[in-house]
Structure 1
Amino acid sequence: MYDRIFAGTLLLLSGLVAWAAAQFEVPFQYEPLGPKAFPYILSALLALASLWLIFKPSADDWHPSKQVLLRLVGALVLMYVYALMYEPMGFIVATTIVGAVFSWKFGAKPVVAGVYALVMSIVSYFMLTDLLQLNVPAGAIFGG
């Protein structure tokens, strides 16, 4: 039953993602896949996964405990905070903070989590900017 409720929510979300992508006004790009294609791809994948869960729900009758639900809500709040920090603090700082908290929550020691998140953020930043040539915010607090 919970699978189908979750799947219905995901199906609704996939429709919202497709609707939001349709609202994008993107000037002509030289790339074959512009920024409008990725939300459509995400929407299609979400819809397919949702339909799979609706028609073939899991046979496992697992019910999340209160602790698991609290962790899930905490993860959602953390992702919301990440979205708020992303522009003003920039990719590296925001991703380092959120990555460190997630690593720590998954069992890493705080120092190891912080170092891992910092290295991951810096490597990801240069991969996104240099290899994929995407515009990733450096952060308004740094004058970017």
Structure 2
Amino acid sequence: MSLTDRTLGFITLLVAIFLTIYGYDLEAPFSYEPIGPKAFPLIIAFALGLCGITLIIKGGNPITPNPRGANIRIFIMLVFIAIYAFTFQWLGFVISTIIMVTLVGHLFEAKWWHATCAGIVIGIGFFVLFDKLLDVILPVGILGELL
């Protein structure tokens, strides 16, 4: 079986269906956020479903192999994501996001300065968006009372 855009579209559509089934029954034992825990997986499933359908309809192009060194960078990025997940509570959203974006940005050949600036903007910007504007509680970690 050769890999094409349509193959990726079908796989993406299957992931979207799985997320919809899993996310639809997701309920918190108590309500601590106005949008609830099911909104995020359902929004992601909707976006993935649209992308999958688009690839199925328009696809057919053969998938080219990754350039040399890309697979190891992807693996290292997965390690960074795992570290991010384990440090998220302790360091807090802002610090862990700044570190994560900076490392991943540099991993994909951004200059340290650009990756760090992007990390700061994304870390603080998303914290303000979610915690302050949307009332989604995010961990403050070591910044504690500063936020």
Classify the TM-score, shorter chain.
0.7 to 0.9
Do 2:33 and 2:137's aligned partners in 1 also have CA atoms closer than 8 Å? no
- In structure 1, the residue corresponding to 2:69 is in which secondary structure? helix
Q: Which residue among 100, 109, 117 is the counterpart of 1:107? A: 109
Q: Which residue among 14, 17, 20 is the counterpart of 1:18? A: 20
Q: How does 1:81-100 map to 2 (within 5 A)?
A: 81-100=83-102
Q: CA deviation at 1:69?
A: 2.4
Do 2:93 and 2:140's aligned partners in 1 also have CA atoms closer than 8 Å? yes
Aligned to 2:39: 37
Aligned to 2:137: 135
Runs of 4+ in 1 over 6 A off after TM superposition: none
In terms of mean alpha carbon deviation, does 53-62 or 34-43 score higher? Answer: 53-62
Q: CA deviation at 1:100?
A: 0.8
**With structure 2 as the length reference, what TM-score do the two structures score?**
0.74
Do 2:12 and 2:52's aligned partners in 1 also have CA atoms closer than 8 Å? yes
Q: CA deviation at 1:77?
A: 2.9
CA distance in 1, matches of 2:63, 2:123: 38
Q: Unmatched 5+ residue regions in structure 1?
A: none
Q: Which residue among 55, 63, 66 is the counterpart of 2:65? A: 63
Higher RCO (CA 8 Å, separation ≥ 6 residues): 2
**With structure 1 as the length reference, what TM-score do the two structures score?**
0.75
Q: CA deviation at 1:58?
A: 4.9
Change (3 A) 1:80 1:9: farther
CA distance in 2, matches of 1:91, 1:61: 36
Change (3 A) 1:83 1:15: farther
Aligned to 1:8: 10
Q: Which digits, 9 at most, give the CA deviation of each residue in 1:28-51, with x for residues without a partner?
A: 6895x5442332222122122212
What residue identity is the alignment partner of 2:76? G
Q: CA deviation at 1:133?
A: 1.8
Q: Unmatched 5+ residue regions in structure 2?
A: none
Do 2:102 and 2:116's aligned partners in 1 also have CA atoms closer than 8 Å? yes
CA distance in 2, matches of 1:123, 1:15: 31
CA distance in 2, matches of 1:112, 1:47: 33
Change (3 A) 1:10 1:78: farther
Equivalent pairs counted in the alignment come to 142
Percent sequence identity over aligned pairs: 27
What residue identity is the alignment partner of 1:85? T
Aligned to 1:79: 81
